[in-house]
Structure 1
Amino acid sequence: MDLHPIAGVVWYAIGRFYEAQDGQQLDLGYFAHLGGLGPLFNGPPGEATAFFTFRAEPFRVQTLQNGDLSVSLDATGVFTLYLNREPCGDFADPDTFSRGEPIATFERFSTAVGTTVGPLASNLFSAALRSSRDFVFGGGTWNLARLVPEGITQLGTASTTALPPPRGYKAVRAFVGSAMALGARRG
């Protein structure tokens, strides 16, 4: 089956930011919408039933203060999308989000900027599609290169309310993100 870039949102990501004891951060989660794929869950929607997950490689964050705004600058980095034929996501065990088959890898090609004020934070980043492969799902053959050949731009919203961190981490925050396909590069 063929995925086509659309002039709208190509994915909704639901996830969490994890801060390790050494200060490095990563984000991971699952998709509530992913192009034309579906169904995305093996049961009631949630991380434990999600067929498609993602996980970033750890990165460092630099924080700046501008009045009552806290601005974070996340280094460029890589994240991978996975197909989990037997969903097993569990936010208490971050490794469960990278147990599936890797189907695509993206690289943020510029610093991600996040702003925190009050109980919410927002961030914006673009990422280039670095690799993708065909996979069979729902009776069809898919490849994310057909949906987002150049990559994505994602706008996210996060809570500043701390969640209980799993062992090995000192802080966790929930977020959601909406991504649109990047247009073709010219010149």
Structure 2
Amino acid sequence: MLITDFDSLTPLPANGDIGLDFVFAGTFNVYYNANPNGDWSNPNTFTDGQLVARFSRNETLFVQIGPVSHHVLTETLLYSQNFRFNNKTYSFRRLTPDGITLNQFVSNTSLQGTTDFPFGLAFAGNGVSILRKE
């Protein structure tokens, strides 16, 4: 599960029917829990596992077109801790030594949140690891 400080958006003037939001620099954490028990009504339960990675991002733009937003950004790996899954040891330091580029599509319709996370957004995307040349 990943937890991010993605609440750091500032709307910019629209360009016709295209909206832009400025996304502040920030971090996101990835947690691994061998016995997950996350509760969507309490997002803090997703941090019950082991912190296995922390990434940072620079400022970016979040593009809104109609009901969908698009966001592409590169995250730099700051921290990595080994973890075991299916009797194998993994590390983001080995999987993504120089970071990851994310390509995200997000619904512009916010979902009801909780006290600590006042809103949520449904999204789908993919990530590409940045490999180091040797």
Q: TM-score range by the shorter chain?
A: 0.7 to 0.9
Residue 71 of structure 2 corresponds to: 123
Conserved? CA contact 1:57–1:78, under 8 Å: yes
Match of 2:48 among 90, 93, 99: 99
Residues matched between the structures, number: 133
How far the C-alpha of 1:147 sits from its partner, in A, is 1.0
Q: Equivalents in 1 of 2:120, 2:79: separation in Å?
A: 29
The AA in structure 2 aligned to 1:116 is Q
Q: How far does the alpha carbon of each residue in 1:39-69 deviate from its partner, in whole angstroms, 9 at most, with x for none? A: xxxxxxxxxxxxxx11013652111122111
Q: Which residue of 1 aligns with 2:30?
A: 81
**Structure 2 counterparts to residues 1-187 of structure 1, below 5 A:** 53-57=1-5, 59-64=7-12, 65-108=14-57, 110-184=58-132
| Residues 125-151 of structure 1, C-alpha deviations (whole Å, 9 max, x = no match) | 111111101112211111111111000
Tell me how large the CA RMSD over aligned residues is: 2.0
**TM-score, structure 1 as length reference:** 0.65
Gaps of 5+ in 2: none
Q: Which has the higher strand share?
A: 2
Question: What SS is found at the alignment partner of 1:97?
Answer: helix
Partners of 1:183 and 1:141 in 2: CA distance: 19
- Structure 2 distance, partners of 1:107, 1:169, is 20
SS of 1:103's equivalent? strand
Q: Is the 8 A contact 1:59 1:75 kept in 2?
A: no
Measure how far apart 1:111 and its partner are: 1.2
Q: Which moved more, 1:97-106 or 1:174-183?
A: 174-183
Whether the 8 Å CA contact 1:59–1:77 is kept in 2: the answer is no
More relative contact order, 1 or 2 (CA 8 Å, 6+ apart): 1
SS of the aligned residue for 1:145 comes to helix
Alpha-carbon distance, 1:168 to partner: 5.0
The Cα shift of 1:84 comes to 0.9
Whole-Å separation in 2 of the counterparts to 1:76 and 1:180: 20
Q: Deviation string for 1:94-153 (max 9, x for gaps)?
A: 102211100111111x21221111111111111111110111221111111111100001
The answer as to whether partners of 2:100 and 2:130 remain within 8 angstroms in 1 is yes
